Amino acid sequence: MRKSRTAALIAPFAAAALLLAPSPALAHDVLTGSDPEDGDTLDTLPEEVVLSFNNAPMEGGSGSAVVVTGPDGAEKQEGDLAFDGTDVAVGLAPLEEAGEYTIAFRVVSSDGHPIQDTLTFSVTEEAVAAAAPEEAEEEAPAGGAEETEEAEEDPIDESPAAAEEDAAENGTSPLMVLVGIVVAVAAIGAVVLVVVRMRNRPGSGGGSARS
């Protein structure tokens, strides 16, 4: 009888203790990792930020956002969030400045509870410098191609026809020069012919002298 009475008295307290004890099933989802990791210093520029959770967050809606801010205060995230199981990722615009970057995120966990926090990572001067030559090399062929196209569009024509066209434009066509010479020779010949005929006419002064 005493044992049963004691058990009856303890039972309510045991039930209350079980209700008050934390249950793993009721625990909220948490961030388990990130890439870049919090506090990382990178020698290579990242192209995206990936956040990993212990359970898959709820997709879509306006309750989730990842904002990456650079040293200059400008936002660097690019595009929509990508949900892949327990991972949430967002692309990054090219990072052109060394220094500390901040990742501020807010996602809705599988139980509807919002998870939000702030992480940081840093980019070295070497990482920025290593990425710069690649961009310069990509731009160089474009300019060279344009110059080549311009050269192909404006070739130098050194043909005889082109020379005649240039001479005509300058008023010194070879054909005009040749015509002028022919006209001058014909004029001189005509004058000589007239003089000769006048000398050979009867009664001219030249004929009297010979008789």
Residue 81, pLDDT > 90, answer yes
Total-model pTM = 0.54
Structural domains in the chain, CATH included, are 25-128 (2.60.40.1220), 164-194 (no CATH)
Average pLDDT over residues 181-199: 72
Decide: residue 92, CB within 10 A, 0-12 exposed, 13-18 middle, 19+ buried: middle
Per-residue pLDDT reduced to its tens digit, 132-143: 865 555 555 555
Higher pLDDT, 102 or 200: 102
What pairing do the DSSP bridges indicate for beta strands 77-84 and 65-69?
Answer: unpaired
Q: What are the backbone angles phi and psi of residue 101, rounded to the nearest 5°?
A: -115, 145
User: In this structure, are residues 107 and 60 in contact, taking their beta carbons and an 8 Å threshold?
Assistant: no
User: In this structure, are residues 47 and 82 in contact, taking their beta carbons and an 8 Å threshold?
Assistant: no
User: In this structure, are residues 138 and 144 in contact, taking their beta carbons and an 8 Å threshold?
Assistant: no
Average pLDDT over residues 161-174: 58
What pLDDT was estimated at residue 63? 85
**With helix as H, strand as E and coil as C, how does 97-116 read?**
CCEEEEEEEEEECCCCCEEE
Write out the two tokens for 108: 């809705």
Query: Average pLDDT of the chain?
Result: 76
Per-residue pLDDT reduced to its tens digit, 117-157: 999 999 999 999 998 865 555 555 555 555 555 555 555 55
**Residue 115, number of CB atoms within 10 A of its CB:** 17
Write out the two tokens for 30: 């948490």
